[in-house]
């Protein structure tokens, strides 16, 4: 079994609770889990507040060379996410994939299947690395995410079929298949959950879409329970893309002119309102029925948390979004920045009333919230589809080189 940080395993000495609230001290925790403890790093202190740290990065060299293990050991990382852009960078740089590419060329494997064979091997290896965390926490963390073909984002039946295929191909209980939160994607999400599969719902920008995602998850669990399935074997996160919202809103404010006091605020406000909806959704009789059957809440995951604007604090999308029963998946540069100067405190429920007021202020200034989020959803799918196409082209070129040898 892969070696895993005792700090990471200590969080999961007992089953996680399906209800909201800061986690209690567990047997096997470090000597102090106080967020103010000087013996723990900033990310370990953040983790003690109930937020899980995942890494938004994956590559064969990081998995096999020990770097990913170092992130588990030193930086409180308990999960990993990937996407077409991440794989595009990983697979087209260096020679870590050359040996398998040569083998696939010899087998006559072509086209998209080359990518899937490479990606599935990476995800299997990463899942095995995180498996002790998954086992110790009874499936709350320790997940690795793999995204469906982004070109299927508006085809619900094809997305569902792809999600089922990927779960079968990887064959690891701590795999989460990522499904984009497009309108057609909602049906695929519900069907996959109803089939007992763990899903990372990605590319969420709007509060309306998030409410639909949460409803799809709950309906899927209800169908699973009605069919005699075990909801305790299903996990899900709802991935809210954060920094891109400020980038787009700020761009529009620049075009309008003035209103500098409104810049750099919408992303955090949006996330706070999403967490408010989460807190209201996963409680009450409907949810308690599912929780009694073993279901766990669909945690909100903060994605796209690197700071794009150099005028903003480089850890703003970590510091302002800390709260219990949440996940923050960070690129490594954000991990390094937070370990250097992060100051973890629970802030996620602060200023919620002002958050709604900000959306109204932006509307008065001429920034349409619905149009911002719809634009970002559409562009998000397009960006991942473009990255996927570019990756396939690069792999085809490499494969041709190996086939000619």
Question: Cβ distance 290 to 221 under 8 Å?
Answer: yes
Dist. CA 388–CA 359, nearest whole Å? 34
Question: Cβ distance 203 to 83 under 8 Å?
Answer: no
Tokens 């309108």: give the residue: 183
Specify the 3-state DSSP secondary structure of 26: coil
Which residues does 339 contact at the CB level (< 8 Å), separation at least 6? Answer: 41, 42, 43, 75
Of 87, 75, 53, 76, the closest CA to residue 301 belongs to: 53
Exposed / middle / buried, residue 38 (Cβ in 10 Å: 0-12, 13-18, 19+):
exposed
Question: Cβ distance 232 to 221 under 8 Å?
Answer: no
CA angle, 213 as apex, 212 and 219 as ends, to 5°? 85
Of 172, 171, 152, 170, the closest CA to residue 162 belongs to: 152
Of 26, 44, 28, the closest CA to residue 36 belongs to: 44
| Distance, CA of 296 to chain centre | 16
Of 18, 5, 42, the closest CA to residue 336 belongs to: 42
Query: What helix, strand, coil percent values describe the chain, rounded to 5?
Result: 55, 10, 35
Query: CB atoms < 10 A from the CB of 101, how many?
Result: 22
Question: Cβ distance 23 to 50 under 8 Å?
Answer: yes
Of 322, 207, 315, 309, the closest CA to residue 264 belongs to: 309
Which member of 89, 124, 168, 178 is catalytic?
178
- Known catalytic membership, residue 178: yes
Dist. CA 203–CA 182, nearest whole Å? 8
Tokens 């990310």: give the residue: 43
What Å distances lie between residue 222 and 110, 293, 294, CA to CA?
Answer: 40, 10, 12
Catalytic residues: 178
């Amino acid at each position: 079994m892969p070696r895993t940080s005792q700090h990471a395993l200590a969080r999961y000495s007992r089953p996680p609770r399906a209800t909201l609230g800061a986690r209690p001290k567990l047997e096997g925790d470090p000597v102090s889990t106080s967020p103010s403890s000087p013996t723990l790093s900033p990310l370990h202190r953040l983790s003690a507040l109930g937020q899980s740290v995942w890494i938004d990065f994956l590559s064969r060299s990081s998995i096999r060379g020990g770097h990913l293990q170092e992130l588990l050991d030193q930086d409180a990382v308990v999960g990993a996410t990937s996407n077409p852009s991440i794989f595009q960078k990983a697979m087209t740089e260096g020679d870590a994939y050359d040996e398998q590419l040569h083998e696939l060329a010899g087998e006559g494997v072509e086209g998209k299947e080359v990518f899937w064979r490479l990606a599935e091997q990476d995800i299997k290896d990463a899942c095995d690395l995180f498996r002790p965390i998954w086992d110790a926490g009874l499936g709350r963390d320790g997940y690795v995410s793999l995204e469906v073909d982004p070109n299927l984002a508006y085809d619900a039946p094809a997305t569902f079929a792809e999600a089922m295929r990927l779960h079968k191909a990887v064959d690891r209980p701590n795999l989460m298949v990522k499904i984009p939160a497009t309108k057609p994607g909602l049906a695929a999400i519900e069907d996959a959950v109803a089939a007992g599969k763990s899903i990372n719902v990605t590319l969420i920008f709007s509060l309306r879409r998030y409410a639909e995602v949460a409803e799809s998850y709950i309906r899927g669990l209800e169908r699973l329970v009605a069919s005699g399935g075990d909801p305790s074997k299903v996990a899900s996160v709802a991935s809210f893309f954060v920094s891109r919202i400020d980038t787009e809103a700020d761009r529009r404010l620049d075009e309008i002119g003035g209103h500098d006091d409104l810049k750099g605020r919408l992303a955090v406000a949006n996330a706070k309102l999403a967490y408010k909806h989460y807190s209201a959704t996963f409680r009450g009789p409907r949810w308690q029925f599912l929780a009694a059957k073993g279901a766990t809440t669909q945690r909100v995951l903060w994605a796209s948390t690197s700071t794009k604007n150099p005028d903003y604090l480089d850890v703003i999308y970590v510091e302002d979004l800390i709260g219990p029963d949440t996940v923050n998946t960070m690129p490594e540069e954000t991990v390094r920045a937070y370990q250097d100067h992060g100051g973890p405190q629970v802030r996620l429920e602060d200023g919620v009333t002002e958050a709604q007021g900000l959306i109204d202020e932006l509307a008065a200034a001429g920034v349409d919230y619905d149009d911002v989020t719809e634009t970002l959803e559409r562009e998000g799918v397009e960006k991942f589809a473009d990255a996927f196409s570019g990756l396939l082209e690069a792999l085809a070129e490499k494969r041709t080189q190996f086939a000619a040898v």
